[in-house]
Structure 1
Amino acid sequence: MARRQDQAIANALQRLADILKRNENHANGRAQPQVQVAEEGEYQGLNKFLKRNPSQFKGGYNPYGAHLWIKELERIFGALQCSENQKVAFSTYLLIEEAENWWTHVKQRLENEGREINWFTFKEIFLEKYLPEDVRNKKEMEFLELKQGNMSVGEYAAKFEELALFYPPYQAAGNERSKCVKFENGLRPEIKEAIGYQRVRDFPTLVDMCRIFEDDHKSRLAQSRSLGSQRHVRRAPDRRNPYQAPSKYAGSPSSVGRPNFSRDIMVPDKQIHWLSSALNVADHI
């Protein structure tokens, strides 16, 4: 890659030197014929492209990485307004190792078949190789069945956007509403009930609102548990038996078994009268 970049820089410097020399000749009144710079048209602008620090692609089994690589290149192409030929030239320039060997054989086959090699053709063949249809179908189903479950809102949103790349209907600019509805339906019930009625249809705003609610909800639960544990602090058990009856008789050991009517037993008035009568009868016997 370094050798190619050095060659491109050398060509650009040569072209700049020719332009300066031509301007100098015009200033001296000596018009010279234009000098054709030996540089292929599709590689013009390569230095500007490389300044965007695009990622290289080395191949292997990496469906998600292959999809992201194409998306990254398309974003740069749009910013630089690259032509179809430049898109192919710049993309293949970044292929290394296994991917570079693959493209060498594919390019030769396409040329032998007389097919035009444009960006659409390259992207189609590239994705067939590194993002097969069965993998795309699996990712689409995984996206359609995605639920938050035990993930945090941040983790759920990251997974949602990762899988949404494999679901073309949500990639169009006018499908923000459908994307938000799908995200809401996968939220946990407590978050969905709190956020759903607000009908937020801007995806970044929706994610932020869900994340803030989740953090507040966790804080409230933690505070509630803390207060609950303080209310239920276990006290030291009372060793006394609340159902233990007092002694029937009280007094010194010598009085065990003998009732002390004057001090220990509370007797109703009628019973006192009856006992007094009984004692009087006993005295006369």
Structure 2
Amino acid sequence: MFQNNNNSSTHNNHEGGQAPVYKQFMTFKPAEFRGSTYPIISEEWVQSMETIFEFMQITEVERVRCSTFMLKDDARIWWQGAKVALDLNNITWREFKEVFYGKYFTLSTRNKLAREFLEIKQGDSSIADYVKRFERGKYFAPMITDDSSMELNHFLEGLNATIRRDVRLSNPSSMRETVDRALMAEKDNQDIIREARAKRTSYQGRESHVPAMKRPFNQSFNRNALPQSSYNQAANSQHSQQPRNFYHNNNNQRFSQRPQQSQQSKRIQPAGSVSSTKSSNTPIPVCTICGKTHIGSCMQGSNVCFLCKQRGHI
């Protein structure tokens, strides 16, 4: 019986000259749709279905049946609830897309993508990535893409300035030619940057082998940068340039007149004595009278007290 049915089916197919719709549809290897939150994926799936239907030349109802056959997982569950409110015997492909877009590609999302396409810029992306974004976004702005000249100008305006300049100088006449010129301009710019970077690296390599230049002389006076002897000479030179009518004491204080000597320093030292005003660094000489070291007059044999320097109580 199974063999007879197959023969009958094969005979009917040959008589009709065409295989069943679902078999013909599956020969195109259609993509499955499992549901997605990314609207571009939903739009690409619808477009892939429409591309197959253009070759098959089938009715509106058959388009819907073939498309819903490829819904899987979450999308299949959604369709089981959505088809209840539809007349599946008279449904059109346009009605199915409206229901489908209401779930996976809302109007607000389409408007947002349209605005993004109107403001599209290359930025840091490559020409290949920019072209991909441009091709995806142009479906949401038919007011631009329906006019080839407007589409070409919109593509040029989104290119980076250096690449846009080179492309316009070549005066392309089609979108394909514009993309080719943009790809060549991008490659030329990359070659220029690569050569400049190689020259810079080579120059830095030569510079590292050159001996370091002597440090320029610092005109400002730095006490710590000079040897002690040089600093003393500089200080003496500055001191010698002071006005003659000014004097300095041991504390480096300036006076308009030389300080007066104390009365004690004016006294005449008696013979045989040693001056007490000499520097403490000078050794005290040995007295020739008593044979000891002391300063002042020697009291040996004078009946004078060594402590109070008075007579009459020794």
Q: Give the structure-1-normalised TM-score.
A: 0.65
Rounded Cα–Cα distance in structure 1 between residues aligned with 2:163 and 2:64: 46
Is 1:140 equivalent to 2:114 in the alignment?
yes
Match of 2:158 in 1: 186
Is 1:91 equivalent to 2:67 in the alignment?
yes
Aligned residue pairs: how many? 211
Match of 1:45 in 2: 21
Match of 1:157 in 2: 131
Q: 1:54·1:73 contact (CA, 8 Å) conserved in 2?
A: yes
Rounded Cα–Cα distance in structure 1 between residues aligned with 2:66 and 2:141: 27
Rounded Cα–Cα distance in structure 2 between residues aligned with 1:189 and 1:103: 48
Rounded Cα–Cα distance in structure 2 between residues aligned with 1:181 and 1:11: 61
Q: CA deviation at 1:165?
A: 2.8
Match of 2:278 in 1: none
Counterpart AA for 2:10? L
Would the alpha carbon gap of residues 108 and 219 (structure 1) be closer, same or farther in structure 2, given more than 3 Å must change? same
Rounded Cα–Cα distance in structure 2 between residues aligned with 1:55 and 1:215: 36
Would the alpha carbon gap of residues 89 and 19 (structure 1) be closer, same or farther in structure 2, given more than 3 Å must change? closer
Rounded Cα–Cα distance in structure 1 between residues aligned with 2:139 and 2:13: 45
Counterpart AA for 2:103? K
Q: Secondary structure at the match of 1:126?
A: helix
Q: 2:170·2:181 contact (CA, 8 Å) conserved in 1?
A: no
Is 1:127 equivalent to 2:83 in the alignment?
no
Instruction: Structure 2 unaligned segments of length 5 or more: list them.
Output: 219-314
Match of 2:242 in 1: none
Match of 1:237 in 2: 212
Match of 1:16 in 2: 10
User: How do 1:24-39 residues align onto structure 2 when only pairs under 5 Å count?
Assistant: none
Q: 1:153·1:214 contact (CA, 8 Å) conserved in 2?
A: yes
Would the alpha carbon gap of residues 150 and 178 (structure 1) be closer, same or farther in structure 2, given more than 3 Å must change? same
In terms of fraction of residues, the more helix-rich structure is 1
Is 1:217 equivalent to 2:201 in the alignment?
no
Identity of aligned residues (%): 26
Q: Secondary structure at the match of 1:165?
A: helix
Match of 2:179 in 1: 207
Q: CA deviation at 1:140?
A: 0.9
C-alpha RMSD of the superposition:
3.1
Rounded Cα–Cα distance in structure 1 between residues aligned with 2:216 and 2:119: 61
Q: 1:176·1:201 contact (CA, 8 Å) conserved in 2?
A: no
Q: Secondary structure at the match of 1:117?
A: coil
Rounded Cα–Cα distance in structure 2 between residues aligned with 1:132 and 1:124: 9
Would the alpha carbon gap of residues 240 and 154 (structure 1) be closer, same or farther in structure 2, given more than 3 Å must change? closer
Q: 2:113·2:137 contact (CA, 8 Å) conserved in 1?
A: yes
Q: CA deviation at 1:179?
A: 1.6
Q: Give the structure-2-normalised TM-score.
A: 0.59
Rounded Cα–Cα distance in structure 2 between residues aligned with 1:170 and 1:14: 54
Match of 1:63 in 2: 39
Q: CA deviation at 1:203?
A: 2.0
Counterpart AA for 1:144? L
Rounded Cα–Cα distance in structure 1 between residues aligned with 2:66 and 2:182: 41
Q: Which one has more relative contact order, counting CA pairs under 8 Å at least 6 apart?
A: 1
Counterpart AA for 1:205? E
Q: Per-residue displacement from partner, 1:154-212 (whole Å, max 9, x unpaired)?
A: 1111111122232233554xx33222211100111111111124342422321121111
Q: Per-residue displacement from partner, 1:111-139 (whole Å, max 9, x unpaired)?
A: 3xx99311111112111211001111111
Q: CA deviation at 1:94?
A: 0.9
* Equivalent in 61, 75, 83 of residue 107 of structure 1: 83
Rounded Cα–Cα distance in structure 2 between residues aligned with 1:204 and 1:13: 52
